[in-house]
Structure 1
């Protein structure tokens, strides 16, 4: 019996080959950033081995729309393919977006910001709670909550986090700062290539700057006594010269107040 080609076997089942120019991108694709180096590596692999996992598409008026497989579609174009293997599914627009998100989440193809945005979109489109979204993507509710918290960063901070290559833990630590301080803090963290632990310490220092210690003057009692003894001796010298001299002393917990009274002229002489 003559052996069928792999293409014939595929076309006789659920998988069909489709021309690339017939496939439109998925408008609900959660992935926004595609690493050029990674795409080129995938394109090289496709040239050598072909596409091992078919793309998923749905029928639309005037053509086909991609449901899942954006990265493979782009790499196939780079590889110079004219057609790709596809599986046809019957889904509506919302289900198409959900399938694209779930596939990316399960394959870990998204960065943590894209994942947070995709989860938020999934919840918004379907009206899902965090618990329901967690079940859809196979994550815990707390993991979903932590992802969604990242979206409290304004867009410019999210972009800086992505461009700076900061980890998700960096991003979570940064949430402690007021919004107006975050971009400047990221610049410092990036310039110093801070680890998560270093970033957390730096953020703590911004939130609670150390107050300079107030140095109170330290008086050594022995030195004060030496001074007082010297003063007493000088008062006695003045008195021995026939000049009335009165030394008053008042002492509190904080200080010693000394008062010396001398006449402006010698006794018996007019001023």
Structure 2
């Protein structure tokens, strides 16, 4: 077993500087603290032991809430191997159960962007289908302030996923405000993602055909047009890679 569950002095826990959640809604923390006071801490926080100190991996909201309650210790699950913390933690069944949907989304986002994994890699790592990982990762479309909203965090996953599909952050904010006012999400505008992707695919094919007609040996490689083209292509590849649709070896495609 590569972890142990113990009571830890809250003053000895170091908050990971890489934690994606840095600010919290005070009302949300108060609501969580009230819930913990009445029902107890249902899930321990997750800590990593690097031999010298205990670093928080998961459960920052719970740690803040218990401090507000005046608790001096907190139940914690301590990882005994701090190497590749996020991958190790997600690979363990106990942490997959401990994470709320928005926490999972932030973890997946970190794996996609910081660890450069693709959706298929993450799905295999956490024991979920690619479609499930993709749906949860899309929760990052929801604005940060809403992801910290305690009421929204307690909503069913299917509600959170539906909210994430409303488009821009402004659209999502508007949809959630409508829900708060009426108890129902507004009718979603018709989406044609497949049609958009088909049209995009045709445009890319056309561009590839046009590029094939250009004799690049005749180009001045210091020409502003050529430099701009390189930058645009590089940014396109980076954007596709960042979306996690499929893996692209950006090193092979670096500008020269």
TM-score in terms of structure 1 length? 0.47
Instruction: Give the number of the structure with larger relative contact order, counting CA–CA contacts within 8 Å between residues 6 or more apart.
Output: 2
TM-score, structure 2 normalization: 0.50
